[in-house]
Structures are given as C-alpha cells and as structure tokens.
Amino acid sequence: MGKLTSYSVVIFVILNLIISQCNALYEDQIGLFDWRKKFVGKIKFGHFDATNADKAIIATDENVLAAISSKNGDILWRKVFEKENTRGEIKFLHVTKNSKSVTSYNEQNPFDVITVNGYNPILFRGWDMNNGNLIWEWAITPTTTNPEESMFFFNEFNIYHVLPVWNSHIEVTEYHASTGQPTKSTSSMISAGWINKDRCVLSSQYFACVVKEQLLVLDLLAETNNIRTKALESPATLIKVLRGQDNYIQVGRQVISLDDLKIVFENRDDDEVYIENSNILKLTQSNKNLKITSDEQEVTELNDLPETLDNNLQIITSKCKPKRENPNQLACRLLVSTDDGALALIQQGKIKWIREEALTKITAVEFLELSLSDAQGAMEEELNNADADILSSMYRRLHSQYSTVKNIVLQVLGLGAPPSFSQRAGLVRDDFGLHKMMVIMTQSGKLFGIDNVSGKQHWVKILKNFEGFANGQSAKLLIQRTSKYYPHPAQCAIIAKDKNTGNGILYQFNPISGQSIDKGVMNLNFKIQYASLLHEQGENFLRGILLVDDKNNVHVLPETSLKQVDGFFLYTVNKPSGILTGFLLQYDEKTNTANMMPTWTVNLGGTDNEQKITHIASKNAIERVHSQGRVLADRSVLYKYINPNLIAVVTEGPDSIHKYILNVYLIDVVSGAVVFSMSHRRAKGPVKIVHSENWLVYSFYNEKIRRNEITSIELYEGKVQTNSTTWSSLNSPPVPLVERQTYIFSSTIAALRETITEKGITNKHVLMGLETGSVLEMPWMLLDPRRQSMVPPEKQREEGIIPYIPELVVQHENIINYNQTIARINGIYTAPSGLESTCLVLVYGLDLFVTRVSPSKTFDLLKEDFDYFLISTVLIGLITASYVVKHLAAKKTIKQAWK
C-alpha cells in the first residue's frame, strides 16, 4: 500500500509538471479577447415593477426568470430553472401590482414575485424582486392524469390551482400563497361538461369558453357557480386572453370585459390589442412602420423600424401615464417582443434598447474571413493576372501606382471614391486573421452577422416560414465561397424547410454584408432529403449545392455544375431504425441528368431494432493533418490511420440483461465497411463525441458505477504506410491498429469539440463544455489512449506519454472562460485563425462566449507581456557602452603611443 501511494505521488508530481506547462490565462487578460453575452430566452410573461417601472420581471420559454433593467436592457438577476418542462416550465408569473409592498415583505404582503413551475411536481416559489433570492417555496404533486393542463391565478393572499378535466369538470384548489397551506379541506369540483380544450381560457378568476355561438363565463371565486352567457354574433374560433389588464379577452374580433360581459372594443383590422388601465392600445405594423394608438389617439409612432423587430411585434407589458401638457394623451413605456424573441423597450417614440433573445437557440455557426481592404484589393488585382507578358505587367504595375497616388491625393482633398461597405464598417481583414464574421443561424430562422472581436451585430435577416428538417436536424448553413477569391465576395447558403408546404427553401447571401444574392429566398418545389456542397469549385470559384429530394432525384444548383456530381458518394441515416445507406451518384451525359445508385446498407439496429442511432460524428471538412505518424521510443514511426471517409456512429438502446447498451461504430462511408466497433454495457447517454485526425473521444454515463466516463480511441496503420499520397477507401485499405483507454471524469459534459488550426501543426486540445457552465481545455496528452498503467522501462518510454491514472482531474487553470460561466452550454464551435498557433472559439447555449485559445502557446507571436522596456534598455546600454569603450580604447592607445 505504501508503495502504491508513493507511486501515485510520483505520478501526481509528473502530472502537475505537465499541466503546469499548459497555458492558462493571466489575470490581466480578462476581457482582452473574450466576451460574453447573457440571454434569457423568448419572453412568455412580463411585468414592470410597480413603483417606477425601472425593471421588468420576465419569464421565458427557456425556463428562465429574470429582472431586466428598463434603462439599458441589462440583466439585473437571472434564475435558470430545470431544462425539462416537467419541472422547469414556467406556468405562471405574478408580480405584485401594489406598489407599497415592493420594498419590504412581511406576513401581510409576503411576496413581490411568484412563479409556478412544472406540472409534476408543481413548484410554487416567491422571490425577492431586488436581488432575486428565494423567499419561500412549496410544492404539490398533482394526482390527476393531465397535470400539464393546470392553470393558475392569484387573488389577494391566495393562489388558485385550476385543473380542467375537459368535457367533464373543473377542479379548483386554493392555497395560501406563502405557506402552501390549503385554505379549505377539499378542493372544489365544478361540473362543467361544456369545457373544451381549444376553446377555453382562464383570465384571473374567470373561466371563459366559446361554445357554438355563445360565450360562457364561470366565476371561480363566486360562492354559487352560476354561469353567465353572452350570445355572439357569429361562431368564433379564436379566443385569447389579452395581455396587460386581467379580465379582458378577445373572442373573434371583439374585445370583451369579463366583469360585465360588455364589448369594449371592436378589433376590425385584426391588430394586436393590449389593455392597460382600461385603455386599449392597438398596435399596427406595416412596412417598417409601427403605430400604437389608444382611442384613435396616437401614443407612439416609429417610422423606421429596424429589421430585427419587423416580425409580429406584441406588447408584453406597459406603464402609461397621461401626458402633462395634454392629459388626454398617454405617455407610455412599452416592452415589446417579436415572434423570434427579440425584446425591445419603446419610450417616447424611441427604441431604447433591443435584446436579441433568438440567440439562445443557435443551430449553426460559421466563422468567415473578412474581405480585403480597398487598398489590399487593388494590390490583389494587380497580382491577379499571372499569365500576362512583361510589358502588360509593367503597364499594370505603373497604372496601379498611378491610381494609388491619385487616390491618396483625392482622399486628402476629400474628393475620393467613397469607401466600400466593409471598409466603413471596419470589417477589413487584419494581419493575423483574428478578426472574423460569425454567421449565426437560429431555430426561428433569424440570421445574424456578428463581429467576433467586438461582439457588434452587423446585420440581421429574418427568414419567414422557416423550419428545420425532420428528426431534429437543423437547417443547413453552407459556405459556397470564402472571402479568399477577390474580387468575388464570399457567399453562403441556407437550406431549410418551408413551414407550410414542407418543401425546401434556399437562401443565398453575402455573409459579410448580409445582403441577399440573386432573388433572395428561393422556394424549391420539392422536399429535401439530403443537402451538401459539391467537393469541387465551379464557375467563379463557387461550390455548387447538391440536393436530393424525397423521390431520390438529384438537383444541383447552379445547374451548370451537374457534371461534377459524377462519382459523388453520399450516405443517408435513418436514426430510429438504425439503418445507414450509401449511395453513388452518376452523371449521364446523354440525358444531362444524374442518378443515385445505392451501394451499401448497414443495419445497426440490432435484434428487435432496439438500438437507435443517437449521434454521428464526422471529421471537420477543413481539417488538415500535419504529422503523418508518431515517433516511437525506438525511433521508428507509427503511421496514423487517416481516413477522411470515416465516421463514428453511436447507437443506444435498452437491453434485457445489462439494462442499457451503448455501441460505437467506425464506418467508412464510401465502402460501407465497419472498420471498428465497441460496446459499453450498462452505459447510457448523454453521449458527446468528437472525431478528428486519427482519434475519437466520447463521453457517456456509466450506470453501473454511476459516474461519467470518457473513452478515447486512436487508430494507426502500423509501421508501414500503405499510400502516402492519396487515400482510397475502395482499394482495400489496411485494418487499423486500435489503441483505447477510458478515463473517469467527475463532471458531466455538455459539449465536446476539438481545436483546429490552419495547417494542423499546433497540438490539438479537446474543449469540454461542462454542465456547470465552464469550458475546459483538455490537453490531448491527458486523453491519449497510449497512456499505460505500467510504467515501461526507461528505454521503451515514449516522448510525451504520461503514465495512466484513471481519473482526469479538472484543473481550474484550464478553464478558458474563468468565472464567466455559460448557462446551459449547447455547443462549441472552433475555427482556425490566420495564426497557426491560435484557434477561435465560440461557446453557445443560453449565453454566448467568444474567445481564442492557443494550445501550443503563441509560438508565432511575441508574448503580450514581452518586455519592450527591458530589451530596449539593454540594447541602448550595449550600444552606448560599446561607443564609450571604443573611445576609451582609443585614448589608451594614444597614451601608450606617447610612452
């Protein structure tokens, strides 16, 4: 035992030495090249605080409760509930309207903010409005079949749980809000056979339903359950609760007050209606123009509505008071939200701030290099014609110099050509390629162009009727051309599904300026089964888009590139059944069509199709592998098995003996060969996986020992390389040697990603997003499957291999986002920069975090703490010293000559 501990101490010391080599941040680098933006999600409920409306309490569809400053839109505090709706979904939010009780709470007024979360159990909580701390909490476990239908309302000190059992009865239970004590011994049952799921609403204490041509209203607080009815002019289909004041609903186009069942407003144009203090605010939106009126009196008008808000604006909450100069008119502070989740505050006809809450649901990201500056572009143009003769080159050279001089003179005089868009916006490529444009696609179809250095949002585009594909596949964001091909601008494409028809949508745009190319959104007349870029560039360096429709017809855009699909291999996956199918595309010259030929099928479903495909990991298409092998202790080379066609497929499923089984397959998608497979018993997800170069790393939960584990696999060809120039999956490639190792990891991993650099010379680290909100940079050295538990004798010891210890320790220095935690990490995106040492990182989830990492330290850049002062003093000192010494020496020789 003693031997063992001393052994582990030695290992620990070695480990520490290695880790200490690893690069961590310095404290003064905070915020130097990283930034974080916090979000809350699309608003569901929102209220201003009662005293002076300087903050808004909001509840969102991301199950977040937050207080937002009215001044600048900052988050004052935020509470993130469980992601799963059974416990986390916010069902009800009450913010006290009595301004006296806001600052202090006591037994009489024991609450500022009340939330009700989830349906099984239902959690009731009271919060302190000022700091967001919890004041009281209680829960009930509902005992009925449909607890998710629960509705709630608040009255005086009590909270009421209303549970409709459709076509039967309503169950109402009354609780004392702060203690959770039921005020009556039983809940009251109100039989109401007329209630119907889609035609009933609850507005405060009134339960209102539309039944044929009648509106039936039930007062749940009344002692006797008498139902009031009101005849409607025509059978209405729409019934909804209006935001703002309680007890107002809209039935069809009529706004009805539930207190007296009077029609208070006729909404003829079907606009958005909001009620505040019996004032009806009507919101009309057309063509970038927003008008809010009350009783034909204008409250607010915005003529140049920004594009980001141009998506079904709704008033969430307001605070109005009569204007001083004209008491008939209202001055309002309005909190508005769009369909995609953009939240804005409008006051005095101005937009004070906008929050882009669509960014909580990012589905795809690309980093794009910026375009050249005007001067660089001119130079590029000059060098472009390589095949010209000497004279014309000479002419071009002189001409470009002349135009440069001319431009300078004109610029000085203020007569020059106006700078290009990117020049004006500061979107110009920098020396090290660290400044890029992040193109972000969100679930709602809102696109963003965000600067990765400043975090500034340069453009936004809303795609209407946009939807992701079936089986949880998001829409596709493809880069057809990067910014490298001056003068051609970069071009991206988005392929999605039309919400209404189910057909494909194609949108092509310039990712730097955000402008659409050609016709803008193109509606395709077929459903998309498969979409990808072609491998080769076509005309103008543009890569074509390959689309396969649901009838296996091949489409290529632009159509002139159809020839290029010949010999294109592709595969499709049926996730639920676990079947992968490979296809080969062939171009038929006679008919000018391409057809798809199935080449192989692999069924990973297992017996009874219990195994479902949960993850597919392919390698990054832009990845380059610099080093082809690994030098062993005896100076021989072990060559890596680098197969670009290899994908990893994870299947999970239940098992009668082992409870859960998790399988991992490595499949060559050109030949359909299963190169390697592994099976983990009693292991289940969530699986996170990353596949790069010749290795694979994945994390899973070991159900047997109840801990998280990480497995790493490395593939080697052996000591001889079969073909060093080209890889062919069809010429019976070698069976790889497999190294594997599993490690224990104490945290749960929410996202995995490898770092990537331009040439692949820099070491690869694995970035791990943890559920706790940290992002850990794990050196590959620690995950290396060649780590052995037996320490080999000195001669056989390989370079850079540390002895195996089962647990991977989270080193706090390796947390790249230090204390800037990111709530609910969903994914990590990495992109190479112009510097070989540096990799750009975007972590997204509920929050956004952008930073850069340099896995092998910044070897190609002077350190920022480089001591310029020291080196210059030393240099100056040496120069002066040498002059002084020279002078002295001369003196001495003269003296000696006189002797």
Partner 1 sequence: MNEVFAQDIKIKTQSMHVYQIEGKVLKPKSLNNDSFKNMIQETEIVINSGKYKGFLKDDGTFVIKCVQPGSYLLEVVSSKYVYEPVKIEINNRGKIRARKVNNMQPFQVILLQYPLKLKTNATYNFFQKREHWKITDIIFSPMVLMMIVPLILLILLQKSMNNSGFKNEMENLQLPNFDSSDNFPDVTKMFSNLIDRTQQKQLNHRLKNCIYK
Binding site for partner 1 (CB under 8 A): 23-28, 77, 79-84, 87-88, 120-121, 123, 125, 128, 131-135, 137-139, 141, 143-145, 165, 168, 705-707, 744, 746-748, 750, 771-773, 806-807, 812-813, 815, 818-821, 824, 865, 867, 870
Query: Are residues 86 and 99 in contact, defined by beta-carbon separation less than 8 angstroms?
Result: no
Please identify, using beta-carbon distances, which residue of 340 and 847 lies nearer to partner 1.
847
Q: The tokens of 367 are what?
A: 């980093």
Please identify, using beta-carbon distances, which residue of 98 and 819 lies nearer to partner 1.
819
What DSSP assignment string belongs to 479-516? EEE-TTSTTSPPEEEEEEEETTT--EEEEEE-TTT--E
In whole angstroms, the minimum distance from the beta carbon of 127 to partner 1 comes to 9
SS3 per residue for 276-321: ECCEEEEEEEECCEEEEEECCEEEEEECCCCHHHCCCCEEEEEEEE
Please identify, using beta-carbon distances, which residue of 134 and 375 lies nearer to partner 1.
134
Query: Are residues 638 and 655 in contact, defined by beta-carbon separation less than 8 angstroms?
Result: no
In whole angstroms, the minimum distance from the beta carbon of 5 to partner 1 comes to 13
Q: Phi-psi region for residue 80, left (φ > 0), alpha (ψ -120 to 50) or beta?
A: beta
Q: Whole-angstrom Cα distance, residue 834 to residue 166?
A: 62
Q: Whole-angstrom Cα distance, residue 578 to residue 572?
A: 11
φ, ψ dihedrals at 108, nearest 5°: -75, -40
In whole angstroms, the minimum distance from the beta carbon of 121 to partner 1 comes to 4
Please identify, using beta-carbon distances, which residue of 126 and 511 lies nearer to partner 1.
126
- Furthest-apart CA pair in the chain: how many Å? 132
In whole angstroms, the minimum distance from the beta carbon of 3 to partner 1 comes to 17
Please identify, using beta-carbon distances, which residue of 3 and 795 lies nearer to partner 1.
3
Render the burial of 744-764: b for 16+ CB within 10 Å, e for the rest: ebeeebbbbbbbbbbebebbb
Strands of the sheet containing 330-337, edge to edge, are 314-322, 330-337, 342-347, 350-356
Please identify, using beta-carbon distances, which residue of 737 and 744 lies nearer to partner 1.
744
In whole angstroms, the minimum distance from the beta carbon of 843 to partner 1 comes to 15
Query: Are residues 37 and 455 in contact, defined by beta-carbon separation less than 8 angstroms?
Result: yes
Please identify, using beta-carbon distances, which residue of 74 and 380 lies nearer to partner 1.
74
Query: Are residues 537 and 525 in contact, defined by beta-carbon separation less than 8 angstroms?
Result: no
What is the SS3 assignment for 48?
strand
In whole angstroms, the minimum distance from the beta carbon of 688 to partner 1 comes to 12
Query: Are residues 378 and 406 in contact, defined by beta-carbon separation less than 8 angstroms?
Result: no
In whole angstroms, the minimum distance from the beta carbon of 85 to partner 1 comes to 13
Pairing of strands 200-203, 504-509: unpaired
In whole angstroms, the minimum distance from the beta carbon of 120 to partner 1 comes to 8
Please identify, using beta-carbon distances, which residue of 812 and 891 lies nearer to partner 1.
812
Please identify, using beta-carbon distances, which residue of 20 and 728 lies nearer to partner 1.
20
Please identify, using beta-carbon distances, which residue of 120 and 501 lies nearer to partner 1.
120
Please identify, using beta-carbon distances, which residue of 225 and 821 lies nearer to partner 1.
821
Picking from 466, 431, 428, the residue whose alpha carbon sits closest to that of residue 446 is 466
In whole angstroms, the minimum distance from the beta carbon of 80 to partner 1 comes to 8
φ, ψ dihedrals at 388, nearest 5°: -80, 160
Q: Whole-angstrom Cα distance, residue 822 to residue 845?
A: 7
In whole angstroms, the minimum distance from the beta carbon of 149 to partner 1 comes to 13
Q: Whole-angstrom Cα distance, residue 685 to residue 614?
A: 9
Contacts of 774 (CB under 8 A, 6+ apart): 810, 815, 817, 821
φ, ψ dihedrals at 810, nearest 5°: -80, 110
Q: Whole-angstrom Cα distance, residue 179 to residue 846?
A: 32
In whole angstroms, the minimum distance from the beta carbon of 750 to partner 1 comes to 8
Please identify, using beta-carbon distances, which residue of 28 and 589 lies nearer to partner 1.
28
Q: Whole-angstrom Cα distance, residue 477 to residue 496?
A: 9
Output the CA–CA distances (angstroms, integers) from residue 472 to 90, 468, 540, 614, in the order listed.
24, 7, 34, 11
Q: Whole-angstrom Cα distance, residue 672 to residue 682?
A: 28
Please identify, using beta-carbon distances, which residue of 636 and 893 lies nearer to partner 1.
893
Please identify, using beta-carbon distances, which residue of 165 and 616 lies nearer to partner 1.
165
Please identify, using beta-carbon distances, which residue of 138 and 485 lies nearer to partner 1.
138
Q: Whole-angstrom Cα distance, residue 357 to residue 820?
A: 19
Q: Phi-psi region for residue 321, left (φ > 0), alpha (ψ -120 to 50) or beta?
A: beta
Please identify, using beta-carbon distances, which residue of 148 and 813 lies nearer to partner 1.
813
In whole angstroms, the minimum distance from the beta carbon of 357 to partner 1 comes to 20
Q: The tokens of 877 are what?
A: 């000192």
In whole angstroms, the minimum distance from the beta carbon of 708 to partner 1 comes to 8
Please identify, using beta-carbon distances, which residue of 168 and 385 lies nearer to partner 1.
168
Environment class of residue 502 by beta-carbon count within 10 Å: exposed (0-12), middle (13-18) or buried (19+)?
middle
In whole angstroms, the minimum distance from the beta carbon of 616 to partner 1 comes to 24
In whole angstroms, the minimum distance from the beta carbon of 140 to partner 1 comes to 9
In whole angstroms, the minimum distance from the beta carbon of 300 to partner 1 comes to 34
In whole angstroms, the minimum distance from the beta carbon of 858 to partner 1 comes to 14
| Cα 245–chain centre separation | 35
Output the CA–CA distances (angstroms, integers) from residue 182 to 90, 158, 224, in the order listed.
22, 9, 20
Please identify, using beta-carbon distances, which residue of 137 and 259 lies nearer to partner 1.
137
In whole angstroms, the minimum distance from the beta carbon of 86 to partner 1 comes to 10
Q: Whole-angstrom Cα distance, residue 889 to residue 456?
A: 63
